[in-house]
């Protein structure tokens, strides 16, 4: 496990450019929430991913069978998805584990009066295929920049389809410090930041948990992204 991001090689840089372009195309097509902030866009955070797939057809009855986890989230509170870029807490002062109880990591401790509580639901969330060496791309509409970004992945053996996510289920795999928005990559309606991560020998369905501490104030964002790593 590496706590710091290693220097990017040419291949990684090229992959980052491609990923940033894909994020740009994606976020340009999405509706904006009332107050612009941001999200993990690739691999997509749960609310962002549901909106990406269903925003144009969010009342479709087939969602219940084709995408039951997104369906239960839409049924619980549609604003979970419409406000895909507002999953944050204020005043945490970097003490994330004290602010967010086990079982509530994906909703940031039921932040925003419980708007995002459905994201904590255990089940078969759609998972994005990823290689074991990948990047987390954060989209920042408001150009807040970052004081700190931490990327965690669940330990091998954790089953996100049957277990509530707790802090003890996570391992820190990457971290970067102060990165002003001017150093992020330009994107339509904002900027993006790419953080390299190494999943090690992990296989199967995992949760990538990203904490983005914005620079403009003590405002921290929390994202659960479902991924699937290839078999050994």
**DSSP structural state of residue 181:** G
32-65 residues labelled b (16+ CB within 10 A) or e (exposed): ebeeebbbbbbbbbbbbbbbbbbeeebeeeebee
Provide block-wise average pLDDT over 10 residues at a time, the chain (232 residues): 40 38 46 66 97 95 97 97 95 96 98 97 98 96 93 98 98 96 90 96 98 93 98 84
* Residue recorded with tokens 């904002």: 190
Looking at residue 169, its pLDDT comes to 98
Radius of gyration (C-alpha) of the chain in whole angstroms: 16
Residue 64 belongs to a domain with what CATH number? 2.70.50.50
Residue 1 forms part of a structural domain: no
Overall domain count for the chain: 1
pTM comes to 0.86
**204 Cβ neighbours under 8 A, 6+ residues apart:** 228, 229, 231
Which two three-digit tokens encode residue 65?
Answer: 């069978």
CA distances from 117 to 78, 95, 109, 160 (A): 12, 21, 8, 16
Residue 180 forms part of a structural domain: yes
What is the DSSP pairing of strand 88-90 with strand 219-229?
antiparallel
Looking at residue 73, its pLDDT comes to 98
Looking at residue 205, its pLDDT comes to 98
Looking at residue 189, its pLDDT comes to 86
- Of the candidates 131, 147, 129, the one whose C-alpha atom is nearest the C-alpha of residue 211 is 147
SS3 content of the chain, % helix, strand, coil (to 5): 30, 30, 40
Residue 148 forms part of a structural domain: yes
Which structural domain, as residue segments, surrounds residue 225? 10-229
- Of the candidates 144, 141, 143, 151, the one whose C-alpha atom is nearest the C-alpha of residue 217 is 144
Residue 65 forms part of a structural domain: yes
Looking at residue 217, its pLDDT comes to 86
């Amino acid at each position: 496990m590496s706590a710091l991001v290693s220097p990017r090689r040419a291949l990684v840089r090229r992959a980052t450019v491609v990923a940033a372009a894909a994020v740009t195309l994606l976020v340009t097509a999405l509706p904006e929430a009332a107050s612009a902030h941001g999200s993990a866009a690739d691999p997509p955070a749960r609310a962002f991913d549901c909106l990406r797939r269903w925003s144009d057809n969010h009342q479709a009855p087939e969602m219940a069978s084709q995408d039951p986890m997104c369906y239960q989230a839409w049924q619980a509170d549609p604003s979970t998805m419409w406000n895909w870029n507002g999953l944050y807490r204020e005043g945490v002062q970097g003490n994330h584990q004290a602010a967010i109880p086990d079982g509530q990591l994906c909703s940031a401790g039921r932040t925003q009066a419980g708007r995002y509580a459905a994201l904590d639901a255990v089940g078969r969330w759609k998972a994005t295929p990823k290689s074991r060496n990948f990047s987390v791309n954060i989209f920042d509409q408001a150009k807040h920049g970052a004081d700190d970004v931490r990327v965690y992945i669940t330990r091998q053996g954790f089953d996100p389809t049957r277990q509530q996510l707790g802090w003890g289920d996570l391992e820190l795999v990457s971290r970067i410090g102060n990165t002003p928005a001017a150093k992020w990559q330009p994107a339509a309606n904002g900027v993006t930041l790419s953080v390299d991560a190494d999943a090690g020998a992990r296989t199967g369905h995992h949760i990538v948990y990203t904490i983005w501490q914005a620079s403009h104030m003590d405002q921290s964002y929390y994202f659960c992204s479902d991924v699937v790593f290839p078999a050994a």
